[in-house]
Structure 1
Amino acid sequence: MVTTRLDLDRIRAAREVIDPIFLDTPLYQPDALGRELGCAVSVKLETANPVRSFKGRGTELVASELAAQGRTAAVCASAGNLGQALAWSGRRRGIDVTVVASRGAPAAKLERIRALGAELELVDGDFEMARARAVDIADERGVRRVEDSLDIETCEGAATIGLELASDASSVDTVLIALGGGAMATGVGYVLKTLSPGVEVICVQPHGAPAMTRSWHERRVVTTDSYDTIADGVAGRYPIPEVLDDLLQVADDAVLVHEASIVTGMRLLLERAGLVVEPSAALGVAAILEDRDRFAGRHVATIVCGSNVDLDAYHRWVGA
């Protein structure tokens, strides 16, 4: 039995709370991509929603809870996607949302946060500096701070992806999951290990932001002084202990990939599947590229977790 902070009954109930616009995202096999990679590849398209990432599943739970409690404000630190999702979910429920982000976050993500009506505060430094500022704002204003991956709603919202995979992907051997703070990896991993224990769960992170992967392998929190990756959505330096504990229960492996493989993965998803994705969403394809023998002949599912990308940067990376 898998023992984590997550609960299968709550995850099933979450589907009744989350706006259906975020649920039942497409799962399909781009044959051309599979031929290129030497294995059957099913793509779970978590970008087919108003915020173009999986984060809306979790923020729907958070915002619904806040509204039920009569609370009218929340703050979060975000690399971009969580902020957009919380702004979208909060706006629909009359919740004032403040998002703290690094000045170095992708401009497209920051613009969309503003467009969704959130107050945006920018800080110098990286995501961890934004996280520290969000703590201060929550204390100063007495409002709820939404902590991605630590707050169980963010994990159990993401876990509804696992329910869909477990019901739709009976022939899948392996699921590749982008690993950042860990909400998606722990949520999806928990459901799969509970309902489809034979499916291998592999988490993927860039070499330039390896803290959670190193922590998983050493079975203790390992921090890093910095990170350097184009995959901003999974970049962090300080793993959350409670999330690591969950991840140790549900992940079969955690691997690191190089930046060049991420770029090639983005290009292949465009050329072979017709998908424009942000770097974090290409981590699964990058993992196959770096270890083709491991996945040869298997049926692999990869979660395309976000497509919020600056077009100028995208053109530089993929040459499109």
Structure 2
Amino acid sequence: MQETRLDTARVRAARRVIDPVFLDTPLYRCEAMEPGLGCTVSIKLETANPVRSFKARGTELVASLLAGNGSRAVVCASAGNLGQALAWSGRARGLDVTVVASRYATAAKLERIRALGATLELVDGDHEMARERAAALARREGVRLLEDSLDLETCEGAATIGLELVDTMQSFDAVLIALGGGALATGVGHVVKALAPDTDVICVQPAGAPAMTHSWRSRRVVTTDSTDTIADGVAGRYPIPAVLDDILLVADDAVLVQEASIIAGMRMLFDHAGLVVEPSAALGIAAVLEDRDRFAGRHVVTIVCGSNVDMDAYRRWVGGACVHGS
């Protein structure tokens, strides 16, 4: 395999920096889901931690490095999960954290960012506008700009998930990874292809936010004018060239799924695994639902990457009766 920007030795070293509360998340076979999917399904549960997403693996690295070199401030753009994670990691190390987000982001995510002590600035636009504003703030204030997926810490933090998958010594035929900015796919894909190269790395993106998948298929950056998906955590329009280069090296396939399949995946995870997840976390299940023949008889693992969801919206999507009182 050609070299990505990541280094497996650095990924192993990252485990010594990340707060153990974010490491060794549950991995288990979910037999109850298997009749409906036609394959063996294992779940890597990245929501079983204080910020309910995988993002803190990366922000732990960033915050540790900043605190170690005497930096006191950092700014990022976030759809919600990165902001929460950076706020959590920064608070633990005395950093001044500013998060820029769309005012249309999930309210529960924004409330949690504030509760964790970060300064929250909202923009009247989408995530790409938030990225522009965060970059402008960092330049003006002369502080560190954390760019998700571009900054290696975010990818190598996520890559520790790949180490945990490989180190179980289980044999997976495919790993299904939500694809947005690319940190999760780049990180996990790098480790899996380095240490378990026969495992298929399959990235999954909503058809309503297809920029990175179109870019992977075209082998060049393809942007979109807008996004239209409930999976806000992966709704980017401008792929980062360096990240695309990595994904081209580690991904065996990139697929697009429909909104109805995402909702069906969320419902399956609730009904058969007892999990309330955000739409991005159901992308792997959605991919199996849309192509059962491809995965028939195989053992797939899907990374449940986040559970920060607005419950009113969740009830609308999944059905109020089944989540009454959640």
Shorter-chain TM-score: what band?
over 0.9
User: In the TM superposition, what is the alpha-carbon distance from 1:167 to its structure 2 partner?
Assistant: 1.3
- Matched residue of 1:43: which SS? strand
Where does residue 96 of structure 2 map in the other structure? 96
Letter in 1 for 2:149: S
Separation in 1, partners of 2:178, 2:169: 18
Output one character per residue of 1:82-102: Cα deviation in whole Å (capped at 9) or x when no partner: 000000000000001000000
SS at match of 1:13: helix
Q: Which amino acid aligns with 2:297?
A: G
Distance (Å, rounded) in 1 between the aligned partners of 2:169 and 2:243: 26
Identity in percent: 77
Separation of aligned partners in 1, 2:26 and 2:172: 15
The structure-2 alpha-carbon separation of the partners of 1:126 and 1:259, relative to structure 1 and needing over 3 Å to count, comes to same
Matched, 1:220 2:215: no
Q: Which residue of 2 aligns with 1:65?
A: 65
Which 4+ stretches in 1 moved above 3 angstroms? none
Superposed displacement of residue 34, structure 1: 1.3
Summarize the alignment of residues 114-153 of structure 1 with structure 2, pairs less than 5 Å apart.
114-153=114-153
**In structure 1, the residue corresponding to 2:109 is in which secondary structure?**
helix
When the two chains are superposed, the root-mean-square deviation of aligned CA atoms in Å is: 0.6
The Cα of 1:262 is off from its aligned counterpart by 0.2
In 1, distance between residues paired with 2:96 and 2:56? 16
1:82 corresponds to which residue? 82
Please state how far the C-alpha of 1:35 moved relative to its aligned partner.
1.7
SS of the residue corresponding to residue 51 of structure 1 reads: coil
Runs of 5+ consecutive residues of structure 1 not aligned to the other structure: none
Q: Work out whether residues 2 and 250 of structure 1, in 8 Å CA contact, stay in contact via their aligned partners in 2.
A: no
Which residue identity is paired with 2:219?
R
Partners of 2:73 and 2:33 lie apart in 1 by 44
3-state SS of paired residue (2:42): strand
What residue is the counterpart of 2:31 in the other structure? Answer: 31
Contact 1:27 1:43 in 2 (8 A): yes
CA deviations on 1:151-170 (whole Å, 9 max, x unpaired) are 00000000000000011252
Alignment of 1:135-284 (within 5 A): 135-168=135-168, 170-284=170-284
Which residue of the partner structure matches residue 107 of structure 1?
A: 107
- Residues 300, 169 of structure 1: CA spacing in aligned structure 2 closer, same or farther, 3 A cutoff? farther
SS of the aligned residue for 2:4 comes to coil
Shift of 1:280: 0.1
Is the contact made by 1:99 and 1:120 (CA closer than 8 Å) also made in structure 2? yes
Measure the CA separation in 1 of the matches of 2:271 and 2:169. 24
Could you tell me whether the CA contact under 8 Å between 1:172 and 1:199 is conserved in 2? Answer: yes
> Which amino acid counterpart does residue 243 of structure 1 have in structure 2?
V
TM-score, length basis structure 1? 0.99
Q: Distance in 1 between matches of 2:31 and 2:123?
A: 44
Aligned residues: 320
Give the aligned partner of residue 297 of structure 2. Answer: 297
Paired with 2:4 and 2:268, the residues of 1 have a C-alpha distance of: 36
- For normalisation by structure 2, the TM-score amounts to 0.98
Q: Secondary structure at the match of 1:136?
A: helix
Partner SS for 1:75: strand
Residue in structure 2 matched with residue 12 of structure 1 by the alignment: 12
Q: Are 1:79 and 1:127, in contact at CA under 8 Å, matched by a contact in 2?
A: yes
Aligned equivalents of 2:190 and 2:8: distance in 1? 9
Instruction: Summarize the Cα distance change of 1:267–1:169 in structure 2 as closer, same or farther, 3 Å threshold.
Output: farther
Counterparts of 1:291 and 1:169 in 2: how far apart (Å)? 27
The one-letter code sitting in structure 1 at the alignment partner of 2:290 is E
Q: Distance in 1 between matches of 2:259 and 2:2?
A: 33
Contact 1:262 / 1:286 at 8 angstroms: preserved in 2? yes
Residue 225 of structure 1 and its aligned partner are, at CA, apart by 0.3
Counterpart AA for 1:236: G
| CA distance in 1 between partners of 2:60 and 2:171 (Å) | 30
CA distance in 2, matches of 1:318, 1:227: 21
SS in 2 for 1:87: helix
Contact 1:2 1:190 in 2 (8 A): no
Inter-partner Cα distance in structure 2 for 1:169 and 1:211 = 34
Q: Deviations along 1:190-215, whole A, 9 cap, x unmatched?
A: 00000000000000000000000000
Runs of at least 5 residues in structure 2 that lack an aligned partner in the other structure:
none
